[in-house]
Amino acid sequence: MWNNKPLCVLVDDEDHCLRDLEIAIEKTGLLEIEKKFDDPVEFLLQVKELKSQIIFLDMEMHVQGVDVARRLNNKKIIFVSSYDNRAKESFGVGATYFVSKRASDNILELKNAVETALNELHSENIFITISTASASKHEIKLEDLIIVQANKNIHGTDKEFILKSGKKITAKGIGSLGTVVSNLNGDFVQINNSHIVNINFASKMKTKDLVILDHLNEEGKLIELTVGDSYKDDFFNKKPHFK
């Protein structure tokens, strides 16, 4: 897993329940709370600006949790309720998990819910969240990521992420390229000691050792990268017709 904890949002119209849930989540050590809302309407107004993929929703609010959930896309929802008999209703709108509000006294129940959500996100591998030098969090869609590279001008555990928009983001303390590639999906492969590439952007081999990426560098030329001998098996397994 990444060194940076995934983000979550809490939505409950009772302040003491928000506090209890916040304490319980901190005890699991699995998530970082991005924001708390005591008004589901305000949450819906801001949801597009939030980076979190995991949302804790109280079911009994002036706008029912299930109604809020129906307006969310591509989020992992963990419903929280005082009433165990509402579990079936929660799954009817695609909730990842249902926990009772007693979960604040049962950390194992809450931890299981969080791990389920994280495992689903990991298996889907649609995004990653990284930290930058300013300690801000960036959520990156994997389909927008072209290259992850080690850069001699930055610290060894930091890596540079290059997006198809041309933007470059330096991720702090993310570890080795081997660690990074193991947390990405099957579209990514390490091709040398300095680069991981998204194979969807690999357009052709210029030579037996040089791959062309369908993306322009800062000079307006297609990116060319060397495929190292010890990485060729993995690369050609992804792109057998390039061999």
What pLDDT, in 10s, does the model give residues 113-144?
Answer: 999 888 887 666 677 888 887 767 788 888 89
**First vs last C-alpha separation in the chain:** 32
Q: Which of 90, 124, 158 is the last residue of a domain?
A: 124
| Of the candidate ranges 32-46, 93-107, 121-135, the one whose mean pLDDT is the lowest | 93-107
Owning domain of residue 88:
7-124
Residues 153 and 216 placed together within one structural domain of the fold: yes
Q: Is residue 233 exposed (0-12), middle (13-18) or buried (19+ Cβ within 10 Å)?
A: exposed
Q: Provide Rg for the chain, Cα atoms.
A: 21
Q: Domain for residue 133, yes or no?
A: no
Q: Domain for residue 93, yes or no?
A: yes
Residues 107 and 196 placed together within one structural domain of the fold: no
Q: Domain for residue 144, yes or no?
A: yes
Q: Is residue 38 exposed (0-12), middle (13-18) or buried (19+ Cβ within 10 Å)?
A: middle
**Nearest Cα residue to 15 out of 36, 29, 45:** 36
pLDDT digits (tens, 9 = 90+) for 155-168: 888 999 999 999 99
Predicted pLDDT at 135: 67
Tokens 């604040």 sit on residue: 104
Distance CA 239, CA 201 (A): 11
In the chain, how many domains are there? 2
pLDDT digits (tens, 9 = 90+) for 182-209: 878 778 999 999 999 999 999 999 999 9
Mention every residue, 6+ apart, whose C-beta is less than 8 A from residue 194. 149, 150, 151, 177
Q: Would you tell me how many other CB atoms lie within 10 Å of the CB of residue 141?
A: 12
Collapsing DSSP to helix, strand or coil, 165 comes out as: coil
Residues 147 and 219 placed together within one structural domain of the fold: yes
